[in-house]
Structure 1
Amino acid sequence: MDKKQQFETQAIRTQIEPTHAQEHSTPLYLTSSFTYADAEEMRATFAGENDNNIYSRFSNPNFQELIDKLCQMEGAEDGYVFATGMAAVFSTFAALSKTGDHIISCRSIFGSTHTVFTKILPKWNIETTYVEVNDVESWGEAVRPNSKLFYLETPTNPGVDLVDLQAASDFCKKHQLILIVDNCFATPYLQQPIQFGADLVIHSATKFIDGQGRVMGGATLGKKELIEEIYAFSRSTGPALSPFNAWILSKSLETLAVRMDRHCDNALRLAEFLSSHPKVSWVKYPRLPSHPQYAIAQKQMKAGGAVVAFGINGGLEQGKNFLNALKMCSLTANLGDSRTIATHPSSTTHAKLSEEERQKVGITPELIRISVGLEHSDDIISDIQQALE
């Protein structure tokens, strides 16, 4: 693909070679295995001497097209796709860590990732130390001789805080750590962490990459030598994406840019409306000048994304009343859908954290997270306004 082509063009025109039928749209490859012309070709394939597919647990043309597109978008050397975002997260940690290693992570992360750090990896004597999102000066205190990885989300889930990617990259180079960035909220259209020095980028493709709440998927992209380790682990352990879901997600990427433009426009309008509402105590959105890391957003994000966090006066009970009063917006723990979604993180996505842990990352009882959809912005604001009042 010509590197001079723009993001939107690459998303549409990056395709695998057509079959003998010369189809315009990539077909589905719903097959568990692949055949060979003769014994020598089969031997060479299993020896890794060619790029032929072997088995859809770890290789399939639909996987490859999706990987190729995502690598183009993120500026990555290689990648691997998974059944879910959490499969990508766990497989990446498991492939790159060994017994006795130490991980440093920003404290504000998805609830299931927290569970991996605190309940699963400790079984193999892999410990994690949390650091504060924007207290860069304190990160060095967490470094140990056995520290291996530094993991962060930006924007964070659900508080929409930002981490300075350049500062994180400089920190990791200084301490010889592998920098892994969850880029789910921003998508590769709005932010490319590899440009700032990240070694790996992770996506829950279930969210904005699919964009319509249909299928699940995940991806890890970045340096080839690291992806080779992740591929070797995943080839044997089987967290692979299905060919059908890979085909759906590859098609979804063709509209990512136009969808994210609309998401961001709608989200900014909603954030501005909430900022002036008397029943709202605070609002966080990266492109509001009131955001604590507004300057960072200007530096590393093309736009503010689709997620708005706000606090509602009256705390937990008023928050429940607000959710119950919504008429159009959906109540679900998902995000990144064409439909606007309202969530109360402290009782759903982050309920497994202790109250103390939630307080440390700013998940207070009054926090509401809105994943702003593609409906007309007037209708989104109207529904939220009537629910507030």
Structure 2
Amino acid sequence: MTKTATHKWIFPARFRAGAYGWKSSKLACQRLREAVSEIKKVAKKEPDLAAEGAVRLIEKLWPALEHVDSSSGALGSAVNKVLDQLLPVIINAPADPNTRQKWLERLWQAMEDDGVDYLGPVGDRWGEVCGSVESANQWAEELMPTLRSCWADPNPGNYFHGATACLSCLLVAERYQDLLDLLALDRKPFWHYRRYGVEALLSMGKKSEALQYAEGSRGLNQPDSAIDQACEEILISSGLHDEAYRRYGLRAAQGNWYLAQFRAVAKRYPMKDASAILADLIATTPGDEGKWFATAKELELYVLALGLANRSPCDPKTLTRAARDNLDSAPEFALGSALTALRWLSEGWGYEVTNVDVMEAYDRAMDAATRLNKADDVTGQIRQLVEANDNGARQFVRQALQGRMRVGSDDNGPET
């Protein structure tokens, strides 16, 4: 009896058909993480067995998750992450051709049954999943007629779920011209398909043509950022770093926050001065200069950081944390950060702000002022700030600080 037959997996019982209901997105995401951990643990010692487990989990995804509300996008992101981790397990497994062919047949059936295209990433790497040039070539021969018929049909709207699988197989089989000829049939440029054409041209050593082909993929609803990244990589691989930076470097920057974008650019262009990169990035976001405060702070460009924070709104909590973290190392910067936090709080900026946030900004300002022997001056500045041009936000800040300092009360009531 084989190890595959005797091994007792935990995850299958948790991914029965219909196992998760409409409101089970969070639980499903947790179970997915646990399943991946289980498979990757096995992969360290038994890669073929782990690959079998990965195929089995992929087969179960749609039946188990079919009824879950995926409108938030969290579940889709979790599935994509699972596939990013499991596909290499299948691709790198040293399985014999017969075993791998059985995996391919099971995965293909799972993609056909998939109701929301959860398994799109599997098709995107189908040529690699094939495990050999011979297998990829066989699948390409099988898929090409259907895709050619779909794209050559004069009636718009035809769709073949195996399009990327076919293109991926042609790429792995090194049938580059066949791939490009097939793409030429698609009347509307679609980056998700044309990126295989870029890879084909690069494999043929035609970097200039690959760049032009990528640029020719732009259009309505096409991912400009992804195209920028591809073009940037082509120029960098050609040693044209300055041109890559000038044309694509800033636009291709990826990150969930501004500091991450800076780090992404700085990592790709270590030869460029960090402050120059930051200045270029700031210029791309007019009106949002304050969002770059944390980046300038990390570079210890304190004067610039405070200037940015005062040019456009900056999160008061971020400013207060900066004040707290720099009280000893840079008290002047800490003082400026805390005062700027109070300024934006007084103008109504901040997310889910409480009295505690106001009092902490005040306390950090006074801590820095004490270190700089400016306590009286700073107290006067804060009083002037919170009493000027009365509005709802200033009333809130004023009330929060009544226990910290003598400030005017609401309306015409007495001072505290």
The TM-score with structure 1 as length reference comes to 0.24
Higher relative contact order (CA 8 A, sep 6+): 1
More strand by share: 1
Greater helix share, structure number = 2
Normalising by the residue count of structure 2, what TM-score does the alignment of the two structures yield? Answer: 0.23
Q: Please tell me whether Structure 1 or Structure 2 has the larger radius of gyration of its CA atoms.
A: 2
